[in-house]
Amino acid sequence: MKQQNFLKANLKKHFNYSYFRTGQKEIILDIMKGKDVLGVLPTGSGKSLCYQLPAKLLNGTTIVVSPLISLMIDQVKQLKAMQFKEVVALNSFMEYEEREQVFNKLNSYKLIYVSPELLQNNELLTRLSQIEVSLFVIDEAHCISQWGHEFRPNYLKLHSIANALNEPPILALSATATENVQSDIIGALNRPNMIKHIYPMDRENITFCVREVSNEKDKQKRIIHFLSNHRVPTLIYFSSRQSTEIVAKEIARKLPQLRIAFYHGGMDQSERISIQQQFMNDQLDLICCTNAFGMGINKKNIRLVIHYHFPSQIESYIQEIGRAGRDGNASLSLLLFSKKDYYIPANLIQKELPTEAELREVFTQLAEIYKDGYQYPITEQHLEHVLQINEIQTRFLYFQFEKHGMIKNNTIIYEKGHWIQAYHKINQLRIKRLSFKEKKISEMIQWMQKDDCLRKHLYKSFQDTYTEPAFACCSNCGFKLSEWKPEQTIVSKKPPASWEEKLKELFLIGVDNETD
Amino acid sequence: MLFSGIVLKCCLHINDERSTAAIFHLLKGKRSIQTVQDTHIYHLDHLYGIHQQLTKQTFDRKIKELHHQDLLIPKSSTKNIYKPTDKAKKWIENNKGNLPMNRFQGLKYYESGKIFYQRLLLLIQTLTNSKMHHLHFIPVIDNRSVENWVREAYKQIKPNENKVLSKLHEELHSLLVHFSDKEASLFVNKLTGFKTYGMSIQQLAMMYKMDAIDIQLLLTSMIHYILNVITKEHARYPWMAFIANHIKDNHFMTKSAQKTYHLLNKEKFSIEQIAKRRRLKENTICDHIVEIALNDNHFPIEYYVEKNTFEEILNAIKQTNSLKLKHIKEKVNDDISYFQIRLTLAQIKTRLNR
Ligand SMILES: Nc1ncnc2c1ncn2[C@@H]1O[C@H](COP(=O)(O)OP(=O)(O)O)[C@@H](O)[C@H]1O
Ligand SMILES: [Mg+2]
Ligand SMILES: [Zn+2]
């Protein structure tokens, strides 16, 4: 009890929150006891706080491994805005000088975010092993599992990295982890006594609506029609960067009164921040985005999440719709698909794995590089460049080459018989992963085609039951789009008529602030 | 449109003596001897480094587009050299009014312009949020040295926050009056204040129906123009001048060249000695020296290029009517090195500048 009051007081003091959310207190109590913890809580439930508060309270430094650089940078900004200053995000884009400066005072940080790739850097690892690491956090821990929805080979090395850091307690966090994935996480980290805190991920305030449409045009027409009388904070998910731009422009043309932007991973960091912040500030009604948007965004009043393209697995879908209705108010997930869309995700996963011919080609080239007596270190970037394959494929292959001893310490180790074996193993794995991903897609498609309760089927592989929906359940349980009546965004303020007025407004000329 | 105009202008000045890559490096502000020399020789100082985020892809696409529009024609298909057509000259002439080319002062402001703009944006965000007692905002600018500067500036300003804010408003207003309404409104829409986040480049492009790249270039031209005005009339724009103040001077030399400069000047080392000492190739040191010559008005060229040699090179330049090293080299005595020719060219340039 004493400990609980202590935690609550510090929650108020450092983060200005009055209460813990579901699961937070339980997880933090175990962490403060030095236990290893696996936390599975839905998106938006506040998982970050489960290590941010301990980071403040524990003696040494907390290290957080996070797969997305943009996510880390966002978190650091938010923490700094909350006056949590002893925090830094390490990534490979840092300028040399800044990096040196930071490396030289690692022990002065309470919280260090780092990408799994950077943790492969020996210098950093050595330096980190010299400071007191009181907690090692693995965010998005499902990346550790080959059967999770976004496998990151480098995550498998986290076990040995934890060893190098003198085996601090580990906290693994994820929003979507089936039981298989959970045991993969615990197994890969080799911490059999990890305490599991698993919370249901169903969202009682989200209504599901899935609609088949005849084609692309029809899809756009319906969306535009729906948006024309539902002005609420909205996200529309697409599977490609280009389509976010095209459709955003189309909607903007048809509905000039809506404030619309697009967002994808190909945009500059500053551009992305600008769009995010406008959306947070309710300056935008609608964002057309790829799945690059959303992680770490915590806008409470997103009312509507539309899927223009369906995701390639249920896990991603759950994560994406989870951004709606954080405030608990009635929110809607609307998924539109046409028969043509069935092939899109299949094409996308093709890009994630090499074909057999490509694999053979890569082996041949690698052998040639070896025989030419190539002197320089063979890194992932190097491989990507020489072999002309994309980043995701490179990541997969490089990891396999290391695993099969074909590359060690950035050097090629050639042995013909061994390579032939490795080739077959990698090819088998490739086939297995491909069929796994295809299975995932067909699960998603099957779900979309269900004719009984969508809610029931959506969550069934993650949990046994779900909470009764707080509002309408789903389009198969009688929900009609026409009956959805959310509170509309009212933009009362007229936009300033001239730049001069706008400038005046921006500078708060004539606005009283009640001090001095 | 602006981007097209800029590329065409570069092609006109360079007059098919360089490949398009040279233009790309110039606009991007590459810090190499070659680029710096090009900048001077072809009188493109004002366009140096005006688009530092330019990607090769975007640039190549533009060249292709201009080619398709018959504004550029390839000189030789292999070498990526393009010549502006007569149509291009007309095009520039016709669009003169819409191309704020003269505002750019790339070589002078390629670095300080960026910092000045970032300071301005962050300072406005800080002061307006502070006025509303809202101290937990996410900074628009993600740059440590700018954040540090604003933090210090804020400490100084805090006691007179309101007054400074309205002065800043007045100054910015009277600067923006210099531009067209469209330009001014674009500039204002990019600003961030209290609970209003500035628009992104892409959004502005959508709103003003312009290419994103032109928005970027237009903003840069405005910043250069503003900097120029406040430098000239700092008494009239004290707060803007304050923001522009103490931006690390434009050390145009690369860091490595600066080191060489030091060894050369203070220690009186020879090229060989410097190369040995710094474990660099002698050629690299020669590159540095050319860079130094371009920047130092008092560079003792006689030390490396005797008077006769200098004259001989000058003659060759006149004869070939070209600034191409290769052409010049063909016309001079075999013992005259490329290094000496480059130094001579650098010298001519610095003299012209004065
Ligand atoms: N105890 C709490 N009280 C109020 N807000 C909280 C609390 N814990 C977390 N939050 C807020 O919830 C939002 C989502 O948190 P985040 O850690 O990003 O979620 P997740 O990682 O689980 O998706 C953040 O804005 C965070 O500040
Ligand atoms: Mg999270
Ligand atoms: Zn239902």
State how far the Cα of A316 lies from the Cα of A335, in Å rounded to an integer.
Answer: 13
Q: Considering the domain boundaries, does residue A299 fall inside one?
A: no
Query: What's residue B350's pLDDT?
Result: 65
Q: Considering the domain boundaries, does residue A252 fall inside one?
A: no
State how far the Cα of A50 lies from the Cα of A173, in Å rounded to an integer.
Answer: 9
State how far the Cα of A41 lies from the Cα of B218, in Å rounded to an integer.
Answer: 47
Which residue's alpha carbon is at the smallest distance from atom 8 of ligand 1?
A46
Contact A142, A105 (CB under 8 A): no
Contact B27, B2 (CB under 8 A): no
Range of the domain at A72: 2-198
Note the pLDDT tens digit of each residue in A152-163: 888 989 999 999
Nearest to B202 among A271, A500, A513 (CB): A271
Output the tens digit of pLDDT for each of chain B's 354 residues. Answer: 999 999 999 999 998 888 899 999 999 988 777 787 788 889 999 999 999 999 999 999 999 999 999 999 998 766 788 999 999 999 999 998 888 999 999 988 988 899 999 999 999 999 999 999 987 788 888 777 888 889 889 999 999 999 999 999 999 999 999 999 999 999 999 999 998 999 999 999 988 999 999 999 999 999 999 999 999 998 999 999 999 987 754 445 677 787 888 888 777 788 888 988 888 888 889 888 888 887 776 778 888 888 889 889 888 887 777 777 888 888 898 899 999 998 888 877 666 554
Note the pLDDT tens digit of each residue in A458-497: 999 888 889 999 999 999 999 999 999 999 999 877 788 8
| Cα–Cα distance list, A261 to A24, A251, A273, A285, A494 (Å) | 34, 10, 12, 9, 20
Give A506's contacts in chain B (Cβ within 8 Å). 124, 128, 188, 191, 193, 196
Segment A396-410 shows an average pLDDT of 90
Q: Considering the domain boundaries, does residue A219 fall inside one?
A: no
Q: Considering the domain boundaries, does residue A450 fall inside one?
A: no
Domains and their CATH numbers in chain B = 2-99 (1.10.10.10), 112-244 (no CATH), 255-353 (1.10.10)
Q: Which residues are registered as beta bridge partners of A90?
A: A114
Nearest to A499 among B162, B184, B200 (CB): B184
Could you tell me if the CB of A199 is within 6 A of ligand 1?
Answer: no
Q: Considering the domain boundaries, does residue A23 fall inside one?
A: yes
Indicate the pLDDT class of residue A404, thresholds 50, 70 and 90: very high
ipTM score for this prediction: 0.76
| Total domain count, chain A | 1
Q: Considering the domain boundaries, does residue A140 fall inside one?
A: yes
Q: What are the tokens at A425?
A: 């193993």
| Cα–Cα distance list, A7 to A32, A251, A362 (Å) | 10, 48, 54
Q: Considering the domain boundaries, does residue A394 fall inside one?
A: no
Q: Which ligand is nearest to the CA of A142?
A: 2
Note the pLDDT tens digit of each residue in A279-288: 999 999 999 9
Centroid of chain to Cα A158: 18
Å from B172 to nearest chain A CA? 9
Phi-psi label, residue A45: left if phi above 0, alpha if psi -120 to 50, beta otherwise: alpha
Which residue's alpha carbon is at the smallest distance from atom 12 of ligand 1?
A46
**B197 interfacial to chain A (CB closer than 8 Å):** yes
Q: Which residues are registered as beta bridge partners of B76?
A: B81
Q: Answer whether A73 sits within 8 Å of B133, measured CB to CB.
A: no
Burial category of B171 from C-beta neighbours within 10 Å (exposed 0-12, middle 13-18, buried 19 and up): buried
The Cβ of residue B11 has, within 10 Å, a number of other Cβ atoms equal to 23
Note the pLDDT tens digit of each residue in A296-348: 677 999 999 999 999 999 999 998 999 999 999 999 999 999 999 999 988 88
Which residue's alpha carbon is at the smallest distance from atom 5 of ligand 1?
A17
Please name the residue of chain A whose CA is at the shortest distance from the CA of residue B130.
A513
Could you tell me if the CB of A479 is within 6 A of ligand 1?
Answer: no
The DSSP 8-state label assigned to residue A340 in this structure reads G
- Whole-number Å distance, alpha carbon A151 to ligand 2 midpoint, is 17
Q: Answer whether A513 sits within 8 Å of B133, measured CB to CB.
A: yes
The full DSSP string for A211-230 is EE-SSHHHHHHHHHHHHHT-
* Cα-only R_g, chain A: 24
Among A44-58, A178-192, B106-120, B277-291, which is the least confidently predicted range? B277-291
Q: Considering the domain boundaries, does residue A363 fall inside one?
A: no
Give the position, in ligand 1's atom list, of the atom nearest the Cα of A21. 1
Which residue's alpha carbon is at the smallest distance from atom 11 of ligand 1?
A46
Segment A2-14 shows an average pLDDT of 95
Phi, psi of A40 (to 5 degrees): -115, 110
- Whole-number Å distance, alpha carbon A457 to ligand 3 midpoint, is 9
Supply the CATH number for residue A106's domain. 3.40.50.300
Give the position, in ligand 1's atom list, of the atom nearest the Cα of A48. 17
Å from A73 to nearest chain B CA? 10
Q: Answer whether B142 sits within 8 Å of A269, measured CB to CB.
A: yes
Which residue's alpha carbon is at the smallest distance from atom 6 of ligand 1?
A46
Own/partner contacts of A435-439, CB < 8 Å, gap of 24 or more, are A436/A146, A436/A147, A437/A312, A437/A313, A437/A349, A437/A352, A437/A353, A438/A346, A438/A349
Give the position, in ligand 1's atom list, of the atom nearest the Cα of A18. 3
